[in-house]
Amino acid sequence: MERASRYARILQQLFLVTLCLSLSGCYYLQAASGQWQVMRKREPITDVVADAATSAELAERLRLVQVARQFSIDELALPDNDSYRSYADIERDFVVWNVFAAPEFSLQARRWCFPIAGCVSYRGYFSQQAANAEAGRLAGKGFDVAVGGVTAYSTLGNFDDPVLSSMMRWDDLQLVATLFHELAHQVLYVKGDTGFNESFATAVEEFGVRRWLDSRGQTDDMRAYRERRALRQDLMALVAGARRDLRITFAKAVSDEEKRVSKRARLKQLEIAASTRLEQAGRNPAGWLRGELNNARLISMTLYEGRLPAFRALLEQCEHDMRCFYDKARELAKQDKVARNAALDALASS
C-alpha cells in the first residue's frame, strides 16, 4: 500500500511537470498543484458534521450548507452533483489571489488565455507571494496593478468543488448566496466573457437568496441583503462615473504628466465619494479602499455586474421560472459577442 501510494505521488508530480512544460511556463504548474492541494483536503460534509472533534459552530454552518444545497436543486434547478457536498480546511483566509493589470492610461484590462476558462482579465495564484511577484513584474513594465484575495471560486463542474474554510468567515446569508452564485457557473459559462458569466451568476444569486429567505420567513434578512446590494450598486455607479471621466482624460492630446495629474485628482475624488457613501451605510471604508486606487483596481471592481440589469429583465420575462431563464441565457451564449452584447443592451433598456 505504501509503495502504491509513493508511485501515485510520483505520477502526479510527473504529470504536473509535463503540464508545466507543455503549456508554456510554470504558471500552470502552480495552478494544477494548488487545485490538487485543495481537492486532497476534502472530506464529506456528513463525516465532518458527525466527527466529535468538529466544533459546534462549524457543524451548524455545514448543516446550513446541506439544506441550502438541496434547496438549490429543488427550487433553483441548479446542478445535482457532488459539488459542495464536501468540506476542505485550507488553513488560510483566501484560496486564490487574482492579479489584475492595465496600462497607465487605459482602462483596457491585460488579458490572459487558458485552455478551460478561455481569455480572462486576471491571473489567479494559489500563493499570495507568487501573486505579489507577478504584480511586481507587471508594475515594472509600467502597468497599473492590483491584487485581490478570493475566498471561493468555481471549477465549472470540472471538479467536485468543496465548501472551503475561507467561506466560513462569512455570515449565513453571504455563505448561501455564494453557494448559489458558484453553482450558477456550472449551468452556463462563456469562454472569454467575464462580464456575461458573472452577471448571469449574480442574477441567479439574487433570485435564489430572495426565494431562500421567503421560504424561511426571514424578511429582516432580505432587507439587509437588499441594502447590501444597493450599497454595492451605488459604489459601482461611482466607479462607472470615474471610468467615464478617465476615458475622456486618456483620449486627450495632452502630455503624459498632465494625464497623470488629472488621473490622480479623479481617483482621489472617487475615494472621497466612496468613503462618504460607506460611512453613511455604517461601513468602514478601509476595507473597500484597501490598496491603491488605479486603473487595475477599477477594472477588478466592474468585471462582475455590468450585465446584471439585462439578466434581471430576462428573469422577469420568464416570470421567474429558472429553467426558462437558463434556456434563454444559453441561447444568448450561442451568439457571437457582438450580437450577444446587442441583445443584452436591448434587454437592459426594455
Output the pTM of the full model: 0.83
- pLDDT by residue (tens digit) across 99-119? 999 999 999 999 888 766 677
In this predicted structure, the answer to whether residue 289 has a pLDDT above a threshold of 90 is no
Q: What is the pLDDT of residue 305?
A: 67
E strand spans, 50-195: 86-88, 96-102, 112-114, 118-120, 123-125, 144-150, 163-164
- pLDDT by residue (tens digit) across 301-349? 876 667 899 999 999 999 999 999 999 999 999 999 999 999 999 999 9
In this predicted structure, the answer to whether residue 222 has a pLDDT above a threshold of 90 is no
**Which helix (DSSP H) or strand (DSSP E) does residue 129 occupy?**
helix 128-140
Percentage with pLDDT > 70 across the chain: 91
Q: What are the C-alpha distances in Å from 294 to residues 58, 103, 242, 279?
A: 38, 10, 11, 22
Q: What are the C-alpha distances in Å from 117 to residues 75, 98, 121?
A: 28, 14, 11
C-alpha cell at 311: 439578466
Q: What is the pLDDT of residue 183?
A: 97
- pLDDT by residue (tens digit) across 156-171? 888 999 999 999 999 9
User: Which residues make beta-bridge pairs with 99?
Assistant: 123, 147
In this predicted structure, the answer to whether residue 4 has a pLDDT above a threshold of 60 is no
Closest CA to 308 of 227, 201, 155, 210: 201
Residues 78-88: what's their mean pLDDT? 97
Q: Is 121 left (phi over 0), alpha (psi -120 to 50) or beta?
A: alpha
